[in-house]
Structure 1
Amino acid sequence: MKPKSLFAAVDEPSLSAEECRALMTRIYAMAKSDATRVNIASGWRGNTRFAGGEITTSGGTIDTTVTITSTIGKRQASASTNVLDDASLRRTVALSETLARLSPEDPESMPELGQQSIRPVNAYVEKTADLTPEIRAAAVKKVIDSAQSLGKEAGEIFVAGFLDANAGCVAVGTSKGLFAYHRNTDVTLSTTTRTPDGTGSGWSSAGVRDWSTIDPTDLARRAVQKAVSSRKPQAVEPGLYTVVLEPGAVAQLIPQLVGSFNARNNDEGRGTFSKRGGGTKLGEKIADERVTLFSDPFDPEILGQPFDAEGQPLGKTVWIENGM
C-alpha cells in the first residue's frame, strides 16, 4: 500500500489488530484503577475540493487517537491523547485516574465487559484505501469535464464539489479481557452545478465503502440535469405538496432522527418522543404505517461497526416498525 500523502510517514493508514492489542497491553500495565477501558481510532483521511472548473485544495492526515477510561469504584472518567510514547501514555492514564477520583459516584455504573462474541464485518476495501491525490484528481476531472460537456445547452456550467475518503480502524479493549477490532473504508463524492444565468442549480452525491462503485460521470449528469431543468423557476403558491426526496436528502435527515431515540432523554421528559405529563410514545404511531426504520451493521449496503464504544456487540435494531 502506498503512502497516502507527501507527509505520510508510514505505509499503512491505520494500526493492525496486533498493534492495537499491544498498545492496550502497555496501557493496562500503567493503570492503577479498578478497571481500564481503551478505545483506539486510527486511520487516514484524504480530501480534494474543486470549484470553478479546477481543484482548489487537496489534503490528507494520518492519526491515531487513544481514549483511556478509568473506573474507580463507581466513579469513572476519560482522557485522550494522540501521542503514543510511554511518557505521554502514562500522563494520560494518570489524568484519567485523577479525574475519576474527582468525579461523583454513578449509581447506575456498570462493570467493564470481559471478552464478547462479536461477528466480524468486512467493511474495508483496498481501492478506497488507495485513493491517492492523483486518483482523486482524475476523478474530479471526470466530474468537471462531464458537467461542462453535458451542460453546453445552458452555457458555461459552474462546477464545484468535494471528494472525501478515509480508511481506518476502531478498537476497544478492557483490562477485564475484552478486545474488539474493526476496519472500514468510506468515500463520498458530491458536486454542485449552476447555470451561468444563476437561476439553475443542481446537486448530486454518492457515499460508499467501495470507491469502484462510484461513477463520476453519472454524478455530473444528475447534477447538470437538475441545474438545467431548474432554470427560471416560477412562483408556487403556499400549500401542501407531495415531495419525493432523493436518497441523499433522506440521508441528511435520518441521523437527526436517530439521535432522538435516546431512552433516558425520553424517559425523563427531555426527548422528542416524551409525552406531556410523563411517559413516552413507545408503542404509539409516530409515522405513516409504511415507514420502517432499522439499523443493521451486517446489511451489505451498510457494513457498519459491529460493536459500540464499550464493546457491546451490535445487531439489527428496529427503531420504527410500521409507523410505530
Structure 2
Amino acid sequence: MKLLNQEEAQRIAGKVMSLSKADECRVSISGSKRGNVRYARNSVSTAGQVQNTQLAVSVAFGKRQGTASVNEFDDKSLEKAVRRAEEVARLAPENPEFLPAIGKQDFKPSATYNPNASAFDPEYRAEVAFQSIDAARKKNLVAAGFFSDSTGFECIANSNGVFGYQELASLNFTVTARTEDGSGSGWVSRAAYDPKKFDARAASEIAIEKALRSVDAKALEPGRYAVILEPSASSDLLNYMFTAFDARAADEGRSFLAKKGGGNRVGDKLFDEQVNVWADPWDPDAPVLPWDQQSMLARARTDLIRNGKVASLEYNRYWAQKQGKAATASHGNIIMAGGSKSTEELVASTKKGILVTRTWYIRMVDPQSVLLTGLTRDGTFYVENGQIKYPVKNFRFNESPVALLNNIDELGKPMLIGEADSRFRMMVPAMKVREFNFTSKSDAV
C-alpha cells in the first residue's frame, strides 16, 4: 500500500476509533519504503526494496487490553481488526499496571525528514555500491558492505484526542575492506538523514586505509592502556549504560544507578566533569520523533548527565504514579557533548596508546556495574608520540562504560550513530581514555 499523507492517516485513525466499542482505543499507523544493497568480494549479492503500511489498534475494557494489526485499509479489514482487538481484550487477564490513555499532547515537529531523500532509488543504491567497490579494487582490496535507506511516516492517535503525524527519512552504511589474504581489515560506518551529506567513496577510503595499515599486526601483551576510541567504538559501549537510565530499575536495585538502602543516584557525581549527556528530539544532527510511541507522551529536551552528575532518570507512567513523580517519555536519542578535535587530532596528542576502530561481540558481565566484555576488530593500532606506529593484534577487553567515563583525558567531535531508522539515534564523540582494560589477545582480524 502507498505511504499515507497526514490527512489520509488521520482519516483512517478516526475511522478505526469510531468503530471501537471499548472504553478506549489507541491507534498506531506506520509506513515505510526501505531499500538496500549488499555486496561481498567486490560484487553485489543482493538488493531490494520493500514497501509496507500497517496499522495497530489497541483497545481496553477496564484493565483488560487487546491489540490487533492489519496492513489492509478497506472498511471491512479495519472493522475486522477492531473486533479482533476487542475479542482479545475481553479474554485477557487484568493488567495490574494498566493506566488509561493519556489526554491530548502538544507535539512540536522535528526534522526527521529531508526532501533530498527522494533520491533514494535503485540507481542511487547501485552507485553507492559501485563507489565503494571501485575504491577497494583500485587498492587491490576486497570490500563487503551494506547500504540501507528508509523513507516513511509515523502516526499515532487515541480516543482522548491525541494525534501525531510525522515523515521520516534516513540512511545507514557499513563497509569492511580486507586484503586478499585476509591479513588486514578495516571498517567504517556512516549514518545520515540527508543523502547529500553522505559520500560512499570517502567513507570507503577510511576502511581501505585501515585495511592496508593493519597488515602484519604485532602482538602486544594484555594490560591497561591509554586508548583512543573512535565514535562507533564509544557508542557500542555507552549504549549499554544509557539504556539503564530507568528509574524503576534503579529504585528496585536492578541497575548501577541503584542506591544502597533503596532509591536511586540522581544528583550523585558518578562521572568525570567533562561528561554531559542529554536527549533532544529537535537536535539538528540527530532529530527523532517528538513523541514516545508506546506511551504517546510528548518528548522534551532532557539532561541525563550534567557535569558528571546524574541529572535525571526515565519514569514510565506507572512508576511515576507509584513514586509520586512526573511521567517522562522514553528518549528517542542520546547526545553526548564532545570537543572539536577529530580522531586523528586525538591520536596526534597521544604519547603512547592504542587506537580502536571498532568493538564487537559485546556481552554484559555484571549489570550492577555495567561491566562488559568484548573484542576489538577491523583496525587496532599502537600509537606513539602522536603517530600510528604499527598495527596490533586484537584484544578481548573487560571494561565498564561507567569506569570509562571516569578516565577521560580528552573528547573528540561527536558523530551520528544509528541504523536506517529515525526511532533512535546516538551522537557520541571519539574519546581518549586512561587505563582501558585489555584482558587477553585475540587472533581475529
Instruction: Look up the match of 1:313.
Output: 298
Is the alpha carbon distance of 1:97 and 1:181 closer, same or farther for their aligned partners in structure 2, counting shifts above 3 Å?
same
Kept in 2, the 8 Å contact 1:129–1:185? The answer is no
Separation in 2 of the partners of 1:104 and 1:274? 32
Kept in 2, the 8 Å contact 1:206–1:248? The answer is no
Instruction: Look up the match of 2:5.
Output: 16
Between 126-135 and 204-213, report the one with greater CA deviation.
Answer: 126-135
1:125 matched to 2:121: no
Matched residue of 1:249: which SS? helix
Instruction: Look up the match of 1:202.
Output: 186
Instruction: Look up the match of 1:3.
Output: none
| Offset, 1:160 | 0.9
Task: Calculate the TM-score normalised by the size of structure 2.
Answer: 0.66
Q: Deviations over 1:43-89 (max 9, x none)?
A: 11000001111111001111112111112223333222223233332
Instruction: Look up the match of 1:4.
Output: none
Between 113-122 and 44-53, report the one with greater CA deviation.
Answer: 113-122
Matched residue of 2:30: which SS? strand
Which amino acid counterpart does residue 211 of structure 2 have in structure 1?
Answer: A
Aligned length, in residue pairs: 308
Kept in 1, the 8 Å contact 2:247–2:264? The answer is no
Identity of aligned residues (%): 35
Matched residue of 2:225: which SS? coil
| Offset, 1:21 | 0.5
Matched residue of 1:244: which SS? strand
Instruction: Look up the match of 1:322.
Output: 307
Matched residue of 2:220: which SS? coil
Task: Calculate the TM-score normalised by the size of structure 1.
Answer: 0.89
Separation in 2 of the partners of 1:280 and 1:169? 37
Q: Deviations over 1:210-258 (max 9, x none)?
A: 0110111211111011111111111111111122222222333444333
Between 53-62 and 102-111, report the one with greater CA deviation.
Answer: 102-111
Kept in 1, the 8 Å contact 2:290–2:299? The answer is yes
Instruction: Look up the match of 1:66.
Output: 55
Separation in 1 of the partners of 2:117 and 2:177? 25
Is the alpha carbon distance of 1:99 and 1:60 closer, same or farther for their aligned partners in structure 2, counting shifts above 3 Å?
same
Between 31-40 and 277-286, report the one with greater CA deviation.
Answer: 277-286
Instruction: Look up the match of 1:283.
Output: 267
Separation in 2 of the partners of 1:215 and 1:62? 25
Higher strand content, 1 or 2: 2
1:213 matched to 2:197: yes
Separation in 2 of the partners of 1:91 and 1:252? 43
Match of 1:25 among 8, 14, 39: 14
Report the aligned-residue RMSD: 1.9
1:99 matched to 2:84: no
Higher helix content, 1 or 2: 1
Instruction: Look up the match of 1:5.
Output: none
Is the alpha carbon distance of 1:129 and 1:114 closer, same or farther for their aligned partners in structure 2, counting shifts above 3 Å?
farther
Between 137-146 and 76-85, report the one with greater CA deviation.
Answer: 76-85
Instruction: Look up the match of 2:234.
Output: 250
Instruction: Look up the match of 2:24.
Output: 35
| Offset, 1:108 | 4.5
Q: Deviations over 1:164-211 (max 9, x none)?
A: 000011111011211111111000111100112322110011101001
Instruction: Look up the match of 2:142.
Output: 158
1:116 matched to 2:98: no
Q: Deviations over 1:264-283 (max 9, x none)?
A: 22222233423455332332
Separation in 1 of the partners of 2:277 and 2:137? 39
Separation in 1 of the partners of 2:204 and 2:104? 48
Which amino acid counterpart does residue 46 of structure 2 have in structure 1?
Answer: T
Match of 2:207 among 216, 219, 223: 223
Is the alpha carbon distance of 1:272 and 1:67 closer, same or farther for their aligned partners in structure 2, counting shifts above 3 Å?
farther
Which amino acid counterpart does residue 60 of structure 1 have in structure 2?
Answer: Q
Separation in 2 of the partners of 1:207 and 1:319? 23
Match of 2:70 among 81, 89, 93: 81
Separation in 2 of the partners of 1:253 and 1:183? 30
Match of 1:266 among 242, 250, 256: 250
Which amino acid counterpart does residue 147 of structure 1 have in structure 2?
Answer: A
Separation in 2 of the partners of 1:189 and 1:61? 18
Kept in 2, the 8 Å contact 1:129–1:166? The answer is no
Which amino acid counterpart does residue 102 of structure 1 have in structure 2?
Answer: L
Match of 2:151 among 154, 161, 167: 167
1:176 matched to 2:157: no
Unpaired runs of 5+ residues, structure 2, are: 310-445
Between 45-54 and 138-147, report the one with greater CA deviation.
Answer: 138-147
Instruction: Look up the match of 2:315.
Output: none
Separation in 1 of the partners of 2:142 and 2:29? 42
Unpaired runs of 5+ residues, structure 1, are: 1-8
Separation in 1 of the partners of 2:54 and 2:237? 29
Kept in 1, the 8 Å contact 2:111–2:284? The answer is no
